[in-house]
Structure 1
Amino acid sequence: MPPASKSAAQSPAKTVGRAALLLRIIASSHNQSLRLVDIAKMASLDKSTAQRLLQRLVLERLAVRDPVRGYRLGPLIYELGLVALPGTNLREVSQPYLHTLAQATGDMVFLVGRSGHESICLSRIAGNYPIQTMTRTEGDRHPLGVGAGGLAILASMRDAEIRLVLEAVQPRLQAYQITPERILKAIDDTRGRGGIAIDAGNAALDVTAIGRTVHDRGRAPVASVFVASIGERMMDSRQKQVTRLLVDCVNSIEHVFH
């Protein structure tokens, strides 16, 4: 029997990759539901291919199709997640330091983790300032480079990795009214500030956020912490104060996480 061709051998892996992409797209939807035509467009797939993959995901309980609202993540995702926690849980380790930062700044504090070409919100802690910015909820996903948290992570990556990420997420950036060129400029600015990412009204209108990367023991960027507040509260002098507190928080997390 002749050996399988290279393209045939790669086909199952390609299918798995496409299915995973569809799940990430569904998860990144703000309302957690998308129509078939929306998913196909965001995945750069023809409608029939996307439909076949989605039908299989529904069959495996990885996705659910609502006739009115469209597709959302299925119950098997939750069930698998219950046993997928790493040995060292970054979210758990970070909690006391995130609470301290929220109390010290009075503002909303977020922990986001890196998930492939995206960031995912792992934790959200409210401060005591009367106006809190609910820009993200736990489980929200966005392309790396969007928002202070995702920008901080992306700016900490190698240039070759950055190019691959931007190529992968480019079809989704239009929804955020942002371009790869703007993200590259923001990366240069972030590196010029020693790794401090600042997003002033791009990810959320009238909201300014300041983020910094959390590295693992090998200095790979695995997450970030950012503080968000209304723009008029985040003046230059206060940004400096928040940055100092943010750096202390991240340093403390890294010390325990390592």
Structure 2
Amino acid sequence: MADTPRRGTQSIERTFDILDVIAAQSPHGVTLKDICAIAGLSPATAHRMLGILLDRGIVERLSGGKRYVVGRELTLLGLSSELRRFREIASPSLSWLSETVGDAIFLSVRSGHDTVCADRRIGQFPIQVLSIEIGSRRPLGISANGAAMLSRESGRTVAAILDHNRERLEPFGTSRGTLDARIAEARRRGYVHIPRAIVKGTSAIAVPIIDVLGRPVAAVSTIAISSRQRADRVPDLVAQLTRAASEIGEAARRATSPEPPPASGF
């Protein structure tokens, strides 16, 4: 029985290995065969652990039943921690932005080599583009928000991240040259504009959110049908997104700043 704690630790490590593999392949999902190959697990071990994770809602199967994705319960666990506080901080600015713009608004945060949708708002315009669910994960660089964050990183860092995500970016059908050009343009302009977004007939604009150290930790975007982001409307949309990003960044900095010491009275 002396090795029981070690076996328990191994099971925990293997479970997190599986979750890492599934999260890295989001949103397209990953097969049992690929999980075994990447995580170095036997089919029996991986299948047993996946069964537990499925029962708890930590992972889910895509339609067809052969590919696994991160489940809603794991998303809820994540939103119960520091991310929930960030959502609360950003909420007033997101609500104002949604009412002003009229189209769907998305808040994404960086998580390693990914972006995670932390929140979204639905606008008043009759046609809304809701292509990203709260909690959904995408490889950093493919979305407007991801490109906005990378536009504030060095060229070397961008290259390393896109290299790391190369295989995961391929299914989206956007070439490396297009991503490089998009990020470079965003670096010059201060925002990302994708006239033809991932969903056909839609357009996206995004602005990065910067922390106290000048790091791009999040981004805010609006996605709409292309006619809603005509060239003559883009400057106003950028100004509104920039205002919201600045407000969120400033509110987050205030929330993390230490309280000033009390006055000495002298």
Q: Which runs of 5+ in 1 are unaligned?
A: 1-11
Match of 1:4 in 2: none
1:97-108 superposed matches below 5 A: 97-108=93-104
Match of 1:130 in 2: 126
Q: Is contact 2:19-2:70 (8 Å) kept?
A: no
TM-score under structure 1 length normalisation? 0.79
The answer to whether the aligner puts 1:253 opposite 2:251 as a matched pair is no
Match of 2:263 in 1: none
Q: Which amino acid aligns with 1:54?
A: A
Once residues 103 and 227 of structure 1 are traced to their aligned partners in structure 2, the CA distance between those partners, rounded to angstroms, is 12
Q: Is contact 2:32-2:47 (8 Å) kept?
A: no
CA gap of 1:213–1:79, structure 2 versus 1, over 3 A, is closer
The answer to whether the aligner puts 1:22 opposite 2:21 as a matched pair is yes
Alignment size in residue pairs: 238
Match of 1:54 among 40, 46, 49: 46
Residues 153-194 of structure 1 show CA distances to partners (whole Å, capped at 9, x for unaligned) of 11112222212211111101121001222111111111111x
TM-score under structure 2 length normalisation? 0.77
Q: Is contact 1:63-1:74 (8 Å) kept?
A: yes
Q: Is contact 1:153-1:222 (8 Å) kept?
A: yes
The answer to whether the aligner puts 1:177 opposite 2:169 as a matched pair is no
Q: Which amino acid aligns with 1:23?
A: I
Match of 1:119 in 2: 115
Residues 113-156 of structure 1 show CA distances to partners (whole Å, capped at 9, x for unaligned) of 11111111111101111111112111111111112111101111
Range that drifts further, 54-63 or 239-248: 54-63
Match of 2:196 in 1: 201
Q: Is contact 2:21-2:38 (8 Å) kept?
A: no
Match of 1:110 in 2: 106
1:220-231 superposed matches below 5 A: 220-231=215-226
Structure 2 counterpart SS, 1:163: helix
Q: Is contact 2:104-2:129 (8 Å) kept?
A: yes
Structure 2 counterpart SS, 1:198: strand
1:24-103 superposed matches below 5 A: 24-25=23-24, 28-29=26-27, 34-37=30-33, 39-40=34-35, 45=37, 49=41, 51=43, 54-55=46-47, 57-58=49-50, 61=53, 63=59, 69-70=65-66, 71-73=68-70, 77=74, 80-81=77-78, 85-86=81-82, 89-103=85-99
Seq. identity, %: 24
CA gap of 1:153–1:78, structure 2 versus 1, over 3 A, is closer
Match of 2:237 in 1: 242
Once residues 100 and 155 of structure 1 are traced to their aligned partners in structure 2, the CA distance between those partners, rounded to angstroms, is 25
Match of 2:262 in 1: none
Q: Which has the larger radius of gyration?
A: 2
Report how far residue 202 of structure 1 moved. 3.3
Q: Is contact 1:209-1:226 (8 Å) kept?
A: yes
Structure 1 counterpart SS, 2:165: helix
CA gap of 1:126–1:74, structure 2 versus 1, over 3 A, is closer
Match of 1:159 in 2: 155
CA gap of 1:94–1:47, structure 2 versus 1, over 3 A, is closer
Q: Is contact 2:17-2:39 (8 Å) kept?
A: no
CA gap of 1:249–1:227, structure 2 versus 1, over 3 A, is same
Q: Is contact 2:205-2:223 (8 Å) kept?
A: yes
